Structure 1
Amino acid sequence: MKLSKPLFFSFIFLLTIGNPAGVHASDAGYNDSKKNGINGFRPTKLFVFGDSYSDTGNYRKLESVSWKQPYGFTFPGKPSGRFSDGRVITDYIAEFLGVKSPTPFRWMNHAQHRLQYGMNFAFGGTGVFDTFIPAGLNMTTQIGFLQKLIDDSVYTNSDLQSSMALLTVCGNDYLDYLLRGRGTIEDLVPYTKKVVNQVATNMKRLHSMGVKKVSVTSMEPIGCLPGETANSSFRQCNDNLNSVVMLHNSKLQKMVARLNSQTPDSPYFILDLFSPFITIFKQKKLPQEGSTRFETPLKPCCVGVSKGYDCANVDQKGVKMYKICSDPNVAFFWDRSHPTQAGWSAVYESLKATLHEHLF
């Protein structure tokens, strides 16, 4: 299958290319485990690795659109390095744990008081292997950053034993494979095995370093991202691309089950992104109190006003080349690839049961 131009730009943006203040999801330290009085392992630190779905500001301000208006429109009211109008999945999982959202690795020297909550090493645009943009920041490299901090005694074995790791793997490796012309979608079958095997290597490495619980996201339905559905006026997903996602997720599930069968205490688990995304696209309510349907779930809130222009683009005179919907709270997608804060909030609600099961 030929990769469409909309998908090309969708992924380069998705998963492309911090805030020194370390924006976080909840200063109040909300913790579901305390709310429900459940006893068990309660991580006090969160270490994050992956791409733009979990990046909270690891690029310098001139390197990424995530530091440009209108990103951060909903929260904190200005760009904060997140690829959304507000909070992303990292912030909500930190909220679940009752800790502040971990500071981006790039800004650690400006946020020494936040290191107790863990650290975010995710960079938008990366994969488990090297991708087009940026090079050299794959997940192995990101984990190496944590190892260096351990070697430098920034974090101790005790810190890791009281921590959880979040890994987001959301499609950049497959995009890179297709765009480099290494093969077609039909050729991805053996490549999915290679990707998932590398995910396994990364997860085992983190656990061997001392991280108590290691989670990884399943892939979202990339064939339904706005960059791919734009040609159908945001009505039709690309089933061929989604079939690759389902193959990846199937292999991922088997891999995690195998790792847990080989390891005491089942430290590995999957955070399913695929199911809540699909549920929302089918205009069904998610399992949360007061949940409502998103009005047009495949259509992004922030769109370019001219072909070839994306959210955050301006012309040579500084005139905006994008438009924002009237209410981001009723839009699931923010731009060509990333959910809004409201979208991530809805997805997070569906992940709570999994987090409870494996942590508490």
Structure 2
Amino acid sequence: MKIKLLLLTLICLISSVAQATTPKSIIVFGDSFTDSGNLYYLSGEPSENPWFTNGRIGDGPNWADYLAEYYKHVPPMKASSYGGTNYAIGGADSSFGPGVWGLGSTGLQVTQYLSETTAIRGEGHILYTYWVGGNDILAMQELSGTINNISIQLQMLIDAGAKHFLIGNMIPIGLTPDGLAGGGGFNPYGISSAELNSLSASYNEALMELLNEIKCNHPSVYFYIQDNHQLLLDVLSDPLSYGFENITEPVTWYGGDPEVSLWWDGVHATSKYQALIAERSFNVIRHHKGGLRCMFADE
């Protein structure tokens, strides 16, 4: 009897993991790095704004678009404003209000999703992606408040039946063009590069502590970490191996070639770099099938 129960538990575990590695739907929450057209829609679909390309902030598809292409059963990524499953919007912070820039928040995104899609929440084969925090840092929001917001939003999704999450950590924002400049553009408070990097590192540490706590409380929930912090460090340390000839001058500032450039503007990356985010995300889900493991404080 015990053997049968063990086998049944193992089968259920394998089935749950398989649902994450072969999703049929991807639900997306985040900010401008992930937005597939919501900001463009709310901006009145400007036809002559060089900042947008097909509604994306950049020169082409972003990482969420590319990630969807890896899975044959997942439809092409589309913004929620156009009836899709990408709720991310440029300028979003982690709050439940209009956000630091008045453009929205992940709290509103999660709330909107849960109000619209009661029929599919508890089904398997759904991957939820969640990446936020950059605008909180650039607006000098309290870290404790940001982490509390994230905790509430993830718990809302878990309570609704979500089990498989791809969670993005923060790039070292101080290494972006606006970060290195120490002000201007998307860094209106003039935060130094060193401080931005420190804030990014503190955010990542607090985020991992939160995810560990949630994992320990919800063993059946899977967290896969999208290590955006390490990816940027890897590219900056050896740009040519990733196909980047220009890692300092944003395309929209100097008119460079986005096919060999890292930065689109002061903080946003080109589509070429976004494809790398998707590739690493796909590999994390595919190769680390167990996701984040619960680590107790005394381990």
Q: TM-score, normalised by structure 2?
A: 0.78
Residue of structure 2 in register with 1:123 after alignment: 89
Gaps in structure 2 of 5+ consecutive residues: 1-16, 184-191, 291-299
Give 1:279 deviation, angstroms.
Answer: 1.3
User: Could you tell me how far 1:46 is from its partner in structure 2?
Assistant: 0.7
2:65 alignment partner in structure 1 = 91
Give the Cα–Cα distance (whole angstroms) in 1 for the partners of residues 284 and 213 of structure 2: 18
Q: CA separation in 2, counterparts of 1:351 and 1:143?
A: 21
1: CA distance, partners of 2:152 / 2:59: 33
Inter-partner Cα distance in structure 2 for 1:297 and 1:65: 30
Distance 1:67 1:262, change over 3 A: farther
1:171, distance to aligned residue in structure 2 (A): 1.2
Deviation by residue 1:248-295 (Cα, 9 ceiling, x = unmatched) = 10111121122112212342232110001111112256xxxxx43422
Contiguous gaps of at least 5 residues in structure 1? 1-38, 73-78, 109-114, 179-190, 286-290, 304-322
CA distance in 2, matches of 1:173, 1:223: 14
The runs of at least 4 aligned residues of structure 1 exceeding 6 Å deviation read none
| Structure 1 position 215 matched with structure 2 position 166 | yes
> For 1:214, what is the secondary structure of its paired residue?
strand
Distance 1:60 1:241, change over 3 A: closer
1:70 and 2:34 matched: no
How far residue 51 of structure 1 moved from its aligned partner, in angstroms, is 0.5
Of residues 129, 140, 162, the one that matches 2:107 is 140
**Identity, % of aligned pairs?**
23
Number of the residue aligned with 2:34: 54
| Cα displacement (A) at 1:68 | 4.0
Match of 1:104 in 2: 79
TM superposition shift of 1:225: 1.4
Aligned to 1:4: none
Distance 1:353 1:61, change over 3 A: closer
Instruction: Determine the structure 1 residue equivalent to 2:245.
Output: 295
* SS in structure 2 at match of 1:167: strand
**Within-5 A mapping of 1:20-35:** none
Q: Pick from 104, 117, 120 the counterpart of residue 156 of structure 1.
A: 120
- One-letter identity of the residue aligned with 2:117: I
Tell me how far apart the structure 2 counterparts of residues 244 and 65 of structure 1 sit (CA, whole Å): 34
> For the residues of structure 2 that align with 1:53 and 1:263, how far apart are their CA atoms?
29
Q: C-alpha distance in 1, partners of 2:284/2:161?
A: 22
Q: What is the root-mean-square deviation of aligned Cα atoms in Å?
A: 2.6
- Quick one: which of 311, 330, 336 aligns to 2:260? 330
Is the CA contact (8 Å cut-off) linking 2:163 and 2:221 kept in structure 1?
no
Alpha-carbon distance, 1:127 to partner: 0.8
Which of 221, 227, 234 is the equivalent residue of 2:178? 227
Map of 1:343-354 to 2, 5 A cutoff? 343-354=273-284
Residues of 1 paired with 2:82 and 2:50: CA distance? 22
Structure 1 residues 169 and 64: CA distance shift in structure 2, 3 A:
farther
TM-score with structure 1 setting the length:
0.66
Offset from partner CA, 1:110-167 (integer Å, 9 cap, x none): xxxxx5xxx01111001111433225x211111111112125xxx4345x43211111
